[in-house]
Chains A and B, each alone.
Chain A
Amino acid sequence: MIVEEITIRNWRSYREPHTFRFDEGFNLLVGRNEAGKSTLFEAFTRVLFDRHTSTAEKIRRIQPLGSSLGPEATIFFQANGNRYKVWKRFLKTPASEFFTWRGDRWELDHEGDAADNAVREILRGETPPGASQTKHRGLCQALWYLQDDAPLPEEAWAEGVNEGLSGIVSLAAKSQEEDRILKKIEKVYSAIYTPKNGEVSSKSDLALLQKEIQDIEEELQTLHERARRVEALRLELESFAEQQQMKDAVLKAAHTEVADLKQKLKEGAALEEEKNQKEETLRRVKETREKLAGDLAAIDKRIMQIDELNRDLEEEQREADVLQADARVEQRTADAHHNTWKTVHEPELRQVEKELGILQAIERIRRFEEEVARVLEEIGRIETTETKFRKRQQELSTTPLPRKKDLKTYQDQKLELATVNGQIEQAAIRIGFDLQVEDVSITAEPDVERLTEDGEYLVLGPTKFTIGDLGMITVRGGGSSLGELQAKAESLSTEIASIFEHFGVADEQELSDLQQRRQDLEQEIKRLKKTLEDLTSKKGLDQLKEDVARTRQKITDERSKLSATPPGWQDLSGDVIREMSEDLAQKKEELNKKIEHEQDREAEARTAFAEASRKAEEASSHLVELKTEIRGLRRANDETLKSYSTYENLQAALAKETEALKQAEEDFAGLLTEYRIRVEEPRAQYDEALERLRGLEEQMQSVEREIVDRNARIEEAVSKDFYSSIGDQEALLDLKRRKLDQVTRQAEAVKLLRDMVQAFKKEQSTALSGPVADLMNRWVVMLTSGSYDSVQMDENLFPVGILNPQYNEALPLDNLSYGTREQVIVLLRLAMGVLLSNDERNLVVIDDRLVNADPVRMRRLCQILEEVATNHCQVVVATCNDTPYAGIQGEVIWVPGDGEVADQSS
């Protein structure tokens, strides 16, 4: 493609619409730095490759500073023999339109996204979601060498090695038909394989089919597993069936054995009967003999017992006699003691007690008499105290004696009078005389006393002072209060006088003495009263008098009792009586002890007697028992012997039966041997066989249970009809596998086809690199004056080294100087442009890339640029310095800083 014209507006520094027109050959875009040269190329890429709706940061940056206007541009270009026009506005009200020149006018072919896509398809580029990058520019990636572009792509031209080269190769092919088929191949390929690593895509039919087959195989495996389980069960069942068969045979044999033994047992039944009879006989003989032996033994035993009892009887008889004698002795001893205390000691005791009673009565009478005297004395004391008490009470009530209260009243009034007098003195008029004359007497009427040391007079009432000869001074009197005080003082004095008068005293001392007298009298009355109360506290006077009468009665009573008092005893002194009483009491005590002693002895003898009597009684009753027992034993023996007549007969019978038993036992032993062989042993065998049979039956049942179990499990398993499911799955698997074979073959075919196409493409690109290298080599020789003569290219059409003919050695491109490397890259782009413009011119853009060339090289580069622009491509070179390019024939487009465009052809 070549660009005819571009108009931009609201685009960075281009706020107003600016139009730039380009020549088909060489175009030099000249402008100072920041003038907007690169902005123009940016507009190329944005309009041709970006989505108009993109709001990526790169797009937003093209908006003029401080503006919200939508940047827009229109590009007219030629491609594939057609003329196109594309207009896009970004950001604000984004829009996109695509026109084609048909005959004489522009026709709008697409709008919006369709317009974006149309441009992209023509230029074989890509429209990414965001802002486009260098690799999205299709062919332009190789032919446009802009400021921001790296010298070479990171991996390969355009989108990766394949995509980048395919763009070039496709264009190189220049066949739409081939391109269409190649696209179809890619489409078919990408329906099966992933584009990145060429593996089978998980969404492809092939993968899905493989997955389906895997699922079926797994399902089949499950089903087969079930079939194997059933088969295993069947094998087990077979084993159980064999066991069943074997056990059945063993069981049958066991049954036969049991039946045989049963028959034997039946045959031994007669012997059994005989054995039973003999057993019975033996038992009976044993019984008879045992009875006889028993009887004999019993009789013998009893005889021995009787002998023994008789011996005991004699012994015990003797003991009983001794016991009875003892009892009699004890009885006599008891009687002797009884007589002693009853007939001797007891009368003595009565006499002593009588005498003691008399002495005690005398003693009591005397004590009563003392009691009467004491009480009478107490009565006298009470009566005396009472008389004194009454006398003092009489005195107190009849004599006027001031109480303490009266004395207090007097003292209060006396104090108040003193106070009133003080107040009078205070209230009185004080008159002082200071006379200039000496020896002048001053008198007062009534007289007033000179009160103060200063010589002042205290005037209590109307007073007339006569001052010598000098004259008189009359004082009419004090205030009214003074009068009241004086009246009060007088009243108080009167009351005090009446108190003295009442008690007949003259002064205070006497009054006080009288009051003391009253106090003493009152205390004495109180004390007497207390004494009287003490005396009568226990008993009153009347009671005491009653006591006297009662005691006197007691004396009378006692005296009446002393009728038989021995002569002289009445007159005995107290001490004698006491002495006699003590003697008698001692005697009485001794007698009591004697009686007690005798009584104890008597009781002991009686107890011994009772014990002896009891033992004697017991002995005699035991004797009776022994005798009874002996009689019983004798009777028993008589009874036993009754059937044998005599003891000897019994002995003979026993001997006979013992012999018979021996015989019977021998008989039985003989039979028993035969019985063991014919009955017992078969019976044991029969029991054993039965036991074995039962065991076998149990085993059989167990095996049968296992069989039932396995059958049930098989039944359960096969009821799910997995067999036909296996068939269905196998059929399905077969189908799918066949299908897989087809699909796999088809997939392999697609891969082969695609691989071959890639291989041929690669070869073509390699073939392409040859002419590229040829061109470059020519230019390199020219540019470097033969210092380097050829460029080495890799399969990606990347220059990797440059050959120095002098040393015949290739230098890696990286070893070259920056300027030389830059020049080689420019030459590469130009060479690619030349080769890709065989049929149609293509635009090559070099944005200020040759600034490091020396003048000689620059001149040669200009020759190369001119050659390319003249014969092959549209070339646009941007520079801030047009001088080096002065020799090139072409269009110079000025990009002035003020936004104005001025075309100037050179």
Chain B
Amino acid sequence: MVRFLHTADWQIGMKAAHAGEKAKVVRQKRFDAASRIVELAEEKDVDFVILAGDTFEDHNVGDVAVKRTVDILNRLGPTPVYVLPGNHDPMVPGGIWDRDSWKRIDPHVTLLREQQEYRHSDDVALYACPLAQKQSSLDPTARIPRREDGDNRIRIGVAHGSLNILPDHVNFPIAADRPEQSGLDYLALGDWHSRGIYGRAVYPGTMEPTSFSEKDSGNVLIVEIEEAHAEPQIEVCPVNSLTWVGITPEISTVDDVEMLDRTIRDLGPLASVLLKISPDISGCTDSRALQRLETLREEVRESAFFLEWIDPVHQPVISGGADRIPDGILYEVDEALATILDGRIPEGPGHQFADQDPEVVLAARLLLHRLAGVRSA
């Protein structure tokens, strides 16, 4: 029996540009997750740890990040750690693995630099498929030898790439039946940030989410294999610090806003949540709902770790907003703006502005209302 921890895609040093001003904190949080992995490995008393590629986001990540990673990996000792170069940190000359800061790594960490068999023990063999470039259309696992007759060792493939189950052309495609073809008991994969178990081919997902589009990320896997050919037993263990949540609510009424509020509150403390909210208010005619939505937006902005609020391209025009605009030029201007927003060409001097960008027209009208002291959308 063997028990090991399978993780991948640490992406240390990732830019996290889409986290805006929180990018730096997001980068820091990845080390917290890595530290939790160390604790977990000890707690679960694993035989070894597999880090299946993309430990680092790029060869150029800062020295401090590399050193901190090395420190964390060193803390795993004496538990053996097998680190695979992925497509973000491939085995190339002058790459991250040649860096002075990486050379401080302790001997219990094995960098799987060669496409070969690494014998963990008499009973366990690892078949490493390190990447030596960033892109390729070749299957990195193709050279894993078949299980020979009489070979009763637990054979584990370690690779990084896209399991060839998608219709699109992918980078480093990996045959979906690789475990069967090569007689592997487990194919420890990396590359996909969302967790995915496809028979014996398994992605743990990134240990700390990196975008709003990921599913089931923020975990590592504790894998137990009783013996050769036995079904692997997989335990999912969360280690993440931050939660990334994307919501696209349809807002028509105040109730819709309240429901959104509840949804957000259900996420728990927002201090560790990155929220992306793209409200659809195209069907909203209730100015109160919009006002409530605006209030909610401000509330969430204050409490969330990070909020990305996507304003809809088409905003509704709330009628009755022009009641405080006095008669005269301004009233006529407002009328003309409303006509343009309505998709018609206004009469009089307003007709020359008919082809203006509706967003700008809307903004101009909102501005006019605001200046007139009228509360609008």
Contact = CB atoms under 8 A, between A and B. Distances in A.
Contacts, number: 165
A851 interface: no
Interface stretch (B8-16, B69-77, B256-264): B8-16
Contact of A234 (B95, B327, B328, B330): B95
Contacts of A735: 20-21
B336 A175 contact: no
B326 interface: yes
Interface in B57-78: 57-65
Given A721-B62, A735-B21, A175 B327 contact: yes
Contacts of A728: 15, 17, 23-24
Contacts of B124: none
A749 B349 contact: no
A238 B91 CA distance: 11
B39 interface: no
B353 interface: yes
Contacts of B20: 731-732, 734-735
A541 to B, nearest CB: 140
A745 B357 CA distance: 9
A724 B349 CA distance: 53
A382 interface: no
Interface residues of A, number: 55
Interface string A715-743: 10111111110111011101100000000
Interface stretch (B155-163, B287-295, B361-369): B361-369
Contacts of A714: 94, 98
Interface stretch (A153-161, A358-366, A651-659, A758-766): A758-766
B251 interface: no
A169 B332 CA distance: 14
Contacts of B58: 723
Given A715-B100, A760-B332, A750 B15 contact: no
Interface in A224-248: 227, 230, 233-234, 237-238, 240-241
Nearest to B27: A724
Contacts of B16: 727, 731
A222 to B, nearest CB: 14
A905 interface: no
B121 interface: no
B62 A727 contact: no
A173 B333 CA distance: 14
Contacts of B27: 724, 727
Interface in B332-377: 332-333, 336-337, 348-350, 352-353, 356-357, 359-364, 366-368, 371-372
B360 A749 contact: yes
A238 B329 contact: no
B92 interface: yes
B143 interface: no
Contacts of B93: 234, 237-238, 240-241, 707, 710-711
B119 interface: no
Contacts of A750: 364, 367
B19 interface: yes
Given A169-B329, A710-B94, A724-B61, 12 more contacts: A182-B329, A234-B59, A715-B100, A718-B61, A727-B15, A728-B15, A749-B360, A753-B337, A753-B364, A756-B349, A759-B349, A760-B350
Interface of B: 13-21, 23-24, 27, 57-65, 92-95, 98-100, 325-330, 332-333, 336-337, 348-350, 352-353, 356-357, 359-364, 366-368, 371-372
27 contacts: A173-B328, A175-B326, A175-B327, A185-B368, A188-B367, A227-B60, A718-B60, A718-B99, A721-B65, A724-B61, A724-B65, A728-B24, A730-B17, A731-B19, A732-B20, A746-B367, A749-B362, A749-B363, A749-B366, A750-B367, A753-B337, A756-B333, A756-B349, A759-B353, A760-B333, A761-B329, A763-B348
Top 10 closest A-B pairs, CB basis?
Answer: A727-B15, A721-B62, A749-B363, A759-B349, A749-B364, A237-B94, A730-B17, A241-B93, A237-B93, A723-B60
